[in-house]
Amino acid sequence: MDKQQKKVLSYFRFRKIIIPIILGLGVATFLLIRSFDRDAFIGINWVWQSYFFIFMALLMMVVRDVGYMYRLRVLTDGQIGWRRSFDVIMLWEFASAITPSIIGGSAIALYIVNKEGVSMGRTTAIVMITAFLDELFYIIMVPLIIIIVGTSQLFTTEGEYVFMNTRFGTQGIFVLGYLFILVLTTIIIYGVFVNPRGFKMILLTIFKLPFLRKHRNKAAETGNEIIITSREMKGKPFIFWVKAFAGTFFSWTGRFLVVNFLIMAFVSGGDQLLIYARQLVMWVILLISPTPGGSGVAEFVFSGFLGEFIPVGLTPALGLMWRLISYYPYLFIGAIILPHWLRRVYGKKGNSRVLRSQDDTLPNKPV
């Protein structure tokens, strides 16, 4: 088994899965106990609309995943079919759920897509363009939402965040995060679509500085990845980008509407557009979370950003329900799919050797 394979499979150790579960459920339990309101729970009026909107929340998770699968098929020019796209997306989400949000699951995604028979050059391009499309969605949606909703109600007054030894409120950290995403996306556009070789030379020049010199090899690798991505993606027809962005749009819209429908299941009325807008701000906070998949942080952030739309006693419970629908399933689905995926991509003989060497790594072994 090569070093890359060992490194990637080490991410799937049992402790990597149990840590975010303990963190998330621990914080959710603390919040439930702290603000438990017996009358609020008794007062829940279970009507047919409640079940309908819970069903719609679950359906939005399907929309989210189908959107990602569709985008993957577009970016691979149909090389990966729907069935295999499902495996890839579930394992990709699994990887994202067990790694800190600020790191993400890109390294594991490279491995997974490549093992599906996609060349490493195209795999590199797919993973990079996927990140680019996600950021592009955010860059486009934020100004639109601000124009419609305004800023007076968009940001909460709760919570302070420390960045570079400076304290920022919700609005401050949001602006910093948005500017960072904007700069990063601009760099990707320049590197991939304008001047990839020039971008690599700029990168190598910057990393000649004494305090950056030790990272110069990594900078060279990044430059090579940009050149490869450019070679793979330049010249793609306009309809290709329309389809890829459509998949991105439906995925992210489905992700956010999960919360809208959950709140509608238990609370009548409410400004649904503002709830959607608040989630755009939430996402920046979760993006810099140091915990796996934002575990623990997400539950607190949910209460802080969306608590005003929900009866006080129900807020932690809805936050937990949100995570039970949108986060925890990927931990279990990924753990179930991984052994079978290994058996498929390596073949029975090769895979049996992998599994024997990974007995303490895989969360569950195939029979």
∠ CA 344-345-347, nearest 5°, is: 65
Inform me whether the pLDDT recorded for 175 exceeds 90.
Answer: no
Residue pLDDT, tens place only, 34-81: 665 666 566 667 778 889 999 999 999 999 999 999 999 999 999 999
Inform me whether the pLDDT recorded for 159 exceeds 60.
Answer: no
Domains of the chain, by residue range, sit at 3-357
> What is the percent of the chain where pLDDT is above 70?
79
With beta carbons less than 8 A apart as the criterion, state whether 290 and 100 touch: yes
Beta strands in 149-229 (DSSP E): 161-163, 166-168
Please state the three-class secondary structure of 118-154 as a single string. Answer: CCHHHHHHHHHHHHHHHHHHHHHHHHHHHHHHCCCCC
pTM of the complete model: 0.83
Inform me whether the pLDDT recorded for 178 exceeds 70.
Answer: yes
Beta strands in the chain (DSSP E): 161-163, 166-168
**94 alpha-carbon distance from chain centroid:** 10
Q: What is the pLDDT at residue 8? A: 62
Report residue 360's pLDDT band, with 50, 70 and 90 as the boundaries.
Answer: very low
162 pairs with which residues across the strands?
Answer: 167
Residue pLDDT, tens place only, 263-322: 998 887 778 999 999 998 888 878 777 676 677 778 778 888 888 888 777 888 888 888
Residue pLDDT, tens place only, 238-268: 999 999 999 999 999 999 999 999 999 888 7
